[in-house]
Amino acid sequence: MPYEPPPYLAELTLAQIAEQVAARKLPPVESWQPEKVSDSHMRIAADGTWFHQGEKIRREAMVRAFAGLLLRDDAGNHWLVTPFEKAAIEVEDAAFIAVDVARRDGGLAFRLNTDELVIAGPEHRLRATGNPETPALYLQVRRGCEARLNRSTYQQLAEIALAESGDWSVTSMGETFSLVPQ
């Protein structure tokens, strides 16, 4: 069955985005306790590009499959987890890149570089780091992993904040998030 990416955010209501999010079935990696621990020889570059043994992974379907097995532990280490093995993966910055954002019905919906959709809110918080001159924004995705907002998505979010509040903050699903690093 061929892969069909979700429609563009601009074409969807918040309810439709929530349906897309709920329809995504991910493996229950949190419940798996594999005994074997190894190194995956994989790396996710700061721009979101995935590599294996130094070579770029060119098949987007493989990246999406691996992304569904990814988690970050409390120590900040990233792992690819299967029922039989837990393999370390190097992540230079964030596991995902947020490549688009749309304001819909009181929510902020983000598209990731893996075509996943995430709605910011209590379970998917935004956080600002860096300093006011060079801020970086991150969105909690799942299992401890985050997405860094790329430059155009940051700009879109800044425009939303200035249009709605004028104080460099945004609200989504009842939560307010500052875009200014503390």
Mean pLDDT taken over the chain: 92
Which is more confident, 61 or 124? 124
pLDDT higher than 60, residue 124: yes
pLDDT at 153 over 80: yes
Q: Residue 125 above 90 pLDDT?
A: yes
Distance CA 78, CA 143 (A): 10
Share of the chain above pLDDT 90, in %: 75
- pLDDT single digits (tens) 81-110: 999 999 999 999 999 999 999 998 899 999
pLDDT band at residue 123, thresholds of 50, 70 and 90?
Answer: very high
* Average pLDDT of the residues in 68-92: 97
Residue 1 has pLDDT above 70, yes or no: no
Q: Tell me what pLDDT residue 11 has.
A: 75
3-state secondary structure of 99: strand
| Prediction pTM value | 0.89
Residues above pLDDT 70, as percent of the chain: 95
As a 3-state breakdown, the chain gives helix, strand, coil percent values, each rounded to 5, of 20, 40, 40
In this predicted structure, the answer to whether residue 6 has a pLDDT above a threshold of 70 is no
What distance in Å separates the CA atoms of residue 121 and residue 111, rounded to the nearest whole number? 15
pLDDT on residue 24:
78
